Amino acid sequence: MEDNNLTLPTNTARRIQREIFVDFGIYVAIVIIGIRLVLEIFQLINAKLSYFGYENLLEWVLYVTSLLFVIPFSKNPHYREPWQWQTGTVAVFLAWMELILIIRKLPRFGIYVVMFTHILATFMQFFIVFFLFLIGFAISFYMLLSNQAPFKEVENSLLKTAIMMIGEFEFDSIFNEDGVVVYYPHSAYIIFVIFVVVMSIIIMNLLVGLAVDDIKGVQEQAVLTRMAMQVELALTVESMLPEYFTKKNIMRLLEVKPNRVSNNCSKKCCAGGAGAVVSGMSSMDLVTALNPELDDIEKVMEEQERLKTQLSKVNTRTKELLAQNERMETMLQALLTHNNIDFTDVDHADDDNLDLGTVFNR
């Protein structure tokens, strides 16, 4: 009896603590959502038409659905209507998607999110063709197997057909299970075999091929894309700052003179090792350090310039040799004419039967 008497107050205390935590969480969530909505409105005023993008739209839907979920619409503040639970489900899903979009701008993990978004964009381009195949097979299965629960409705048939693409065919439960009647077995078998070949083999391998083909190109551009997103985020935050703050704290001009050696010993001592390294760098070293991705391209360009210079020299030398040959030919022709020697061209003569008498005829 004493244990039962102790259990009841303990459960009551836990319930009260949970209710207090829920009430506190509701007010905190409302305040945070309100602040975020105000910030979004300021961002809309500053950005104007450039504000309208899928990320901002996702954020608005997230904030609105979260607000609808946390606000109590009944007399009991801890009770949620059925539609509120569904709205809360959407809010939780969108919150995690928003977190993924934020991670996209981080140095370590952002590249994988960028790769995913590119592959998703490629799939959306192919989705129309994919969906046409899906509708064709789903309606065919609905017409042939509508007496079975998975294909009883068109929407159920669409979902079942999409699931069958990943290998969950359930062939025996569709065709061989006891109590299951297939009214058109021949047509059903033919459509099923075509579905296995087209959707499970060809289409799925095509999707894998598209993804693999995109990954190589995305890996080359993902770092630059992520850096561009970071710059865009910095510019967006800067545009939202008050004007007096930017005028006072933002550096508008930075003059760098890497080739000038400073005579101030105190500056050199304070700079330490880093200052020594910077002062010893040339302007070309700075350009290479700031643009490492252009280093290989510049090497190729330099090699092309070197080959171009060599070809130009070879071309000039060839022209000089041709001019020299023409002068020598003119001199030989003059000597032959002066000595009354007839010259016969034997370039096409047989080398084995070459006779000097056929070359020079007095």
d(Cα 260, Cα 279) in Å, to the nearest integer? 8
- Asked if 88 and 121 sit in the same domain, the reply is no
- Asked if 74 and 144 sit in the same domain, the reply is no
Residue 133 forms part of a structural domain: yes
- Asked if 231 and 323 sit in the same domain, the reply is no
| Closest residue by Cα to residue 262 from 274, 280, 250, 249 | 280
- Asked if 303 and 225 sit in the same domain, the reply is no
- Given the DSSP bridges, would you call strands 342-343 and 360-361 parallel, antiparallel or unpaired? antiparallel
Q: Which residue has the higher pLDDT, 337 or 93?
A: 93
Write out pLDDT tens, residues 134-176: 999 999 999 999 888 889 899 999 999 999 988 888 888 888 8
Q: What pLDDT score does 262 carry?
A: 56
Residue 224 forms part of a structural domain: yes
- Asked if 219 and 142 sit in the same domain, the reply is yes
d(Cα 203, Cα 26) in Å, to the nearest integer? 47
Q: What pLDDT score does 224 carry?
A: 73
Residue 266 forms part of a structural domain: no
- Asked if 83 and 168 sit in the same domain, the reply is no
Amino acid at 36: R
Residue 172 forms part of a structural domain: yes
Long-range contacts formed by 263-268: CB under 8 A, 24+ apart: none
- Asked if 159 and 228 sit in the same domain, the reply is yes
pLDDT at 92 over 90: yes
The domain of 305 spans 298-343
Residue where a domain stops, chosen among 237, 259, 280: 237
Q: Which residue has the higher pLDDT, 16 or 69?
A: 69
The percentage of the chain sitting over the pLDDT mark of 90, rounded to a whole number, equals 19
Q: Which residues pair with 360 in a beta bridge?
A: 343
- Asked if 60 and 122 sit in the same domain, the reply is no
pLDDT at 354 over 50: no
Residue 269 forms part of a structural domain: no
Least confident of 46-55, 182-191, 204-213: 46-55
One DSSP character per residue, 161-174 reads HHHHTTT---HIII
- Asked if 85 and 159 sit in the same domain, the reply is no
- DSSP code of residue 49: G
Q: What pLDDT score does 9 carry?
A: 57
- Asked if 312 and 197 sit in the same domain, the reply is no
Mean of all residue pLDDT scores within the chain: 78
Q: Which residue has the higher pLDDT, 245 or 115?
A: 115
Residue where a domain stops, chosen among 75, 103, 131: 103
Residue 286 forms part of a structural domain: no
Question: If you average pLDDT over residues 279-293, what whole number do you get?
Answer: 53
Residue 348 forms part of a structural domain: no
Question: If you average pLDDT over residues 267-287, what whole number do you get?
Answer: 47
What is the band of 270 on the pLDDT scale with cuts at 50, 70, 90?
very low
Query: How many domains would you assign to the chain?
Result: 3
Q: What pLDDT score does 88 carry?
A: 92
Residue where a domain stops, chosen among 103, 129, 146: 103
Question: If you average pLDDT over residues 309-314, what whole number do you get?
Answer: 88
- Asked if 138 and 210 sit in the same domain, the reply is yes
Q: What pLDDT score does 115 carry?
A: 82
pLDDT at 191 over 70: yes
d(Cα 278, Cα 268) in Å, to the nearest integer? 11
Helix (H) or strand (E) holding 360, with range, is strand 360-361
- Asked if 54 and 164 sit in the same domain, the reply is no
Residue 217 forms part of a structural domain: yes
Q: What pLDDT score does 277 carry?
A: 40
Q: Measure Cα distances from 171 to 135, 159, 174, 192 in Å.
A: 20, 16, 5, 9
- Predicted TM-score (pTM) of the model is 0.56
Contact between 168 and 199 (Cβ < 8 Å): no
